[in-house]
Amino acid sequence: TVVGDGRPAPPPADPPGGWTEPREPVPAGMLAELTYRCPLHCTYCSNPLAPSGGELFTEDWLRVLDQARDLGVLQVHFSGGEPLLRTDLTALVARAHRLGLYSNLITSGIPMSDAAIGSLAAAGLDHVQLSIQDADPAAGDAVAGLRAHARKREAAALVRRYGLPLTVNVVLHAGNVDRLAEIADLAVGLGADRLELAHTQFYGWAWRNRAALLPTADQLARADEAAAGVKERHGDRVEIVYVAADYHATRPKPCMRGWGRRQLVVAPDGGVLPCLSAAQLPGLDVVDVRAADLAWIWYDSPAFNRFRGTAWMPAPCRDCALREVDFGGCRCQAYQLLGDAALTDPACDLSPHHGVLAGLAARAERVAAVPRRLPR
Chain-centroid distance, C-alpha 268: 15
CB contact burial 11-21 (16+ within 10 A = b; e otherwise): eeeebeeeeee
Query: Is the Cβ of residue 291 or residue 315 nearer to ligand SF4 in the bound state?
Result: 315
183: nearest Cα among 282, 372, 146, 192: 192
Size of the site for ligand SF4 (CB under 6 A): 14
DSSP-derived secondary structure letter, 37:
-
Residue with smaller CB distance to ligand SF4, 308 or 323? 323
At position 361, the amino acid (one-letter code) is A
CA 105, CA 112: separation in Å to the nearest integer?
12
Q: Which of 54, 69, 115 is nearest to 90 (CA)?
A: 115
Strand spans (E) along the chain? 29-33, 75-79, 102-107, 127-131, 166-172, 194-199, 239-243, 263-266, 271-273, 287-288
User: Which residue's CB is nearer to ligand SF4, number 181 or number 320?
Assistant: 320
Q: Please, what is the minimum distance in Å from the beta carbon of residue 244 to ligand SF4? A: 15
User: Given the complex with ligand SF4, which of 55 and 345 has the nearer CB atom?
Assistant: 345
Min. distance of Cβ 357 from ligand SF4 in angstroms?
13
Q: Pick from 177, 202, 193, 214: which is nearest to 359 by CA?
A: 214
252: left (phi over 0), alpha (psi -120 to 50) or beta: beta
Q: Please, which residue, 233 or 251, has the CB nearer to ligand SF4?
A: 251
Give min distance, CB of 172 to ligand SF4, in A.
23
Q: Of residues 70-99, which lie at the interface with ligand SF4 (CB under 6 A)?
A: none
Positions in 315-374 near ligand SF4 (CB under 6 A): 316-317, 320, 322-323, 326, 328-329, 344-345, 348, 350
Q: How far is the CB of 301 from ligand SF4 (least distance, A)?
A: 25
Shortest spacing between CB 343 and ligand SF4, in angstroms: 10
Query: Residue 246 interacts with ligand SF4 (CB under 6 A)?
Result: no
298 vs 307, which CB is nearer to ligand SF4? 307
Q: Which is nearer to ligand SF4, 7 or 318 (CB)?
A: 318
CA distances from 356 to 100, 175, 202, 322, 331 (A): 45, 23, 14, 22, 15
CB of 329 to ligand SF4, least distance (A): 5
How remote is the C-alpha of 168 from its chain's centroid? Answer: 12
Identity of the residue, 36 or 327, whose beta carbon is nearer to ligand SF4 in the bound complex: 327
Instruction: Give me the least distance between CB of 226 and ligand SF4, in Å please.
Output: 28
Rounded Cα distance between 234 and 218, Å, is 24
Residue number with CB closer to ligand SF4 (153 or 323)? 323
Which of 139, 143, 222, 233 lies closest to 189, judged by CA? 233
Q: How far is the CB of 144 from ligand SF4 (least distance, A)?
A: 34
Alpha carbon distance 16, 34 (integer Å): 23
Nearer to ligand SF4, 180 or 317 (CB): 317
Q: How far is the CB of 6 from ligand SF4 (least distance, A)?
A: 50
Helix (H) or strand (E) holding 149: helix 149-161
By CB under 6 A, the residues from 257 to 316 that bind ligand SF4 are 316
- The distance of closest approach from Cβ of residue 254 to ligand SF4 in the complex, given in angstroms and rounded to an integer, is 8
Rule CB under 6 A: choose which of 160, 161, 222, 251 binds ligand SF4.
251
- The residue among 36, 87, 46, 88 whose CA lies nearest residue 65 is 88
User: What DSSP state is assigned to residue 257?
Assistant: G
Rounded distance between C-alpha atoms, residue 347 and residue 202, angstroms: 12
Sites of contact with ligand SF4 (CB under 6 A)? 251-252, 316-317, 320, 322-323, 326, 328-329, 344-345, 348, 350
